[in-house]
A and B are shown apart, each in its own frame.
Chain A
Amino acid sequence: MTSDITERAWTPEQEGSWDLATSYRLCESFVAGQVLADLADHDDRIAVLTADLKFSNRTRDFELRHPDRFVNTGICEQNMVSMAAGMATCGYIPYVATFASFVGLLCAEQIRTDLAYPNVPVRVIAHHTGISLGFYGTSHHATEDIGITRSIANLTVIGPADAVSLTEALRQTVDLEGPVYFRIGRGRDEDVYGRTGAEFEFGRLTTLREGGDAAIVATGVTLAPALRAAEELAREGVSVAVVDAHTLRPFDAEGLCELASRVPRILVAEEHNVYTGLASACADALVDGGVGGVKLHRLGLPVDEYALIGPPTRLYEHYELDAAGIVRRMRNLLA
């Protein structure tokens, strides 16, 4: 029916050009438009804005169901964020969706000054975060957005790992008073949670796998390889816990300290610069909580380097953000 290539059903082989066709079920960005459309069926406060990306992020699904509450601002991200702030004062809960690099970085000041400082209920869906846009290059990568957003007062920051947890995150935060920044992947990300996502609880670390020798604390797209790494290590007789730090702000410091007290060897894995991201949040929590004697290793993008270009999975391999890399880094930690 439609001639738009973004609405065509792709085969996994065709998807292979992205080298990320690991999941062919609903992906994160697919699911956001649908979940918001579902929520909007029963909640007339919900509106969606995007910046000329409605097919890429599938907010088109929302537009089809609720055209009167859908706004395309064109390639105009700063205006989009500020407009959403104005709409929020009129009783709406606007969700703005675009690439993380063009909102988490480009609109950092609008997020701080127009959303967080006045504490209005705008939700930012920053998709294709990290290096998930691979060969599109540094302009399209967002490896600093956790650092930026987690230092903004009033702002809630959530990095769901898959479609199910994103769905839960969206549902559990509809009524939050202030703004939320959702940091999500490219979509087509591997399933990490079960079908229901029942274990996902906003604001708390979620233990996806128990383990007593060490723990991997991860967020977003690194969760799936972390689970595979833990499985491989288990075959070698090493018991590794895997913990999803989906809520990056407010950070579950208590949960982290409790984990570190039980398992004082922690590898933090994140698709973000190793400065200011999840590893820093963990270190902050341990310092504030007075938990000493913890071996904390950081795995992420190098401090002083912009990522290479290339297909994303090759890049994850290169930066050791795949299962094999996480296994190697865990062996270092345990050595």
Chain B
Amino acid sequence: MRATVDAWKPAAEEPADLVEEVRDLALFIRCETVRLIGIAKSGHFTSVFSCAELLAALYSGVLRVSEDPAWPDRDRLILSKGHCAVGLYPVLANLGYFPHDWLDTYTRVGSPLGDHPDMRRVPGTDFSSGSLGHGLSIGAGMALGNRMAGRDESRVWVLTGDQELNEGQIWEAAQAASHYRLGNLVAVVDRNRMGLDGTTEEVMSVEPIADRFRSFGWEVTEIDGHDARGVLSAFAAVGSEPEGRPKCVIANTRKGRGVPYMDLSRTWHLGYLEPADAEKTLSLIERV
């Protein structure tokens, strides 16, 4: 788990233990999400569950990170869907970026850890987020800034939701990334097919996502976002070049995956579990 600058290696191949590590980490993310939302008494369970393997893979040898969360040459990750931060915090604590007992303060008065991440309070958070649609622009600025500064190895990863693609600013960023040939920018779309009010296609359609990004000049890959091996290999195949076409990985996922009664549920976008139900839910969480 604890990568160092020297130890970091690209996950060009996915040895079996790396795949297992992703599965374990995704399970950990789901369990911690249930535990932390138990403290908050309200939270985005299913939005985390859909991207658990994506976050787990990113922190299992894909992202160039080190023991220093401010390492200038690191890969950066922006949670444009900031409401999945509760799933990231435990991973950042595991990396040693802040003490584990911070997690126990999640959302309590004065805690650094809120429902949406704050870069000034949470080490390892590359940008504050929460207002949907901003993340890809910020990522494009970072990718451009890194290239201008000659940090050619650094990539910028932006995790977006799918309903979030309704935001016009996403497409402003998409055209800028393509115009400036930001080959060091990767958009990962958590295609969990649901917004708050229903399916994405009912609420405001986002398809054809792949064609839309392609028409903006992006390279697009589509994957099963819950298949640890597939995710790892797709992320490894995402090249990085300071100048080239920006990359988009559309991860087909299921909102609420990992907890049978939340899987594809319309009612668990934001929810609360009584302590007894949380206990029961923890026992139901599947290792995907």
Contacts and interface: CB of A to CB of B under 8 A. Distances in A.
Decide if A and B are genuine partners. yes
Nearest to B156: A86
B140 to A, nearest CB: 5
Contact of B148 (A73, A74, A82, A92): A92
Given A82-B137, A113-B128, 17 more contacts: A69-B148, A73-B172, A79-B137, A79-B169, A83-B173, A83-B176, A86-B127, A86-B137, A86-B139, A86-B142, A87-B148, A91-B149, A92-B148, A113-B130, A114-B138, A118-B127, A119-B120
Contact of B140 (A83, A91, A92, A114): A83
B120 A113 contact: no
B127 A76 contact: no
A89 B126 contact: yes
Interface in A61-109: 68-69, 71, 73-74, 76, 78-79, 82-92, 94, 109
Interface residues of B, number: 32
A113 B151 CA distance: 26
B250 interface: no
B130 A82 contact: no
A76 B170 CA distance: 11
Contacts, number: 95
Contacts of B141: 82-88, 90, 94
28 contacts: A47-B148, A71-B144, A73-B172, A74-B175, A74-B179, A76-B172, A82-B137, A82-B169, A82-B173, A83-B141, A83-B144, A84-B141, A86-B127, A86-B138, A86-B139, A86-B140, A87-B141, A87-B145, A89-B126, A90-B142, A90-B148, A90-B151, A91-B72, A91-B149, A113-B131, A114-B137, A118-B118, A118-B120
B72 to A, nearest CB: 8
B145 A86 contact: yes
A149 interface: no
A78 B176 CA distance: 12
Contacts of B138: 82-83, 85-86, 114
B131 A76 contact: no
Interface size class, chain A: 20 to 34
A68 B138 CA distance: 19
Contacts of A94: 141
B66 interface: no
B146 interface: yes
A78 B169 contact: yes
Contacts of A113: 128, 130-131, 134
A219 interface: no
Given A89-B127, A109-B131, A118-B128, A79 B146 contact: no
A74 B127 contact: no
A55 interface: no
B119 interface: yes
Interface centre among B134, B173, B180 (most CB of A within 10 A): B134
A85 B127 contact: yes
A117 B169 CA distance: 19
Contacts of B118: 117-118
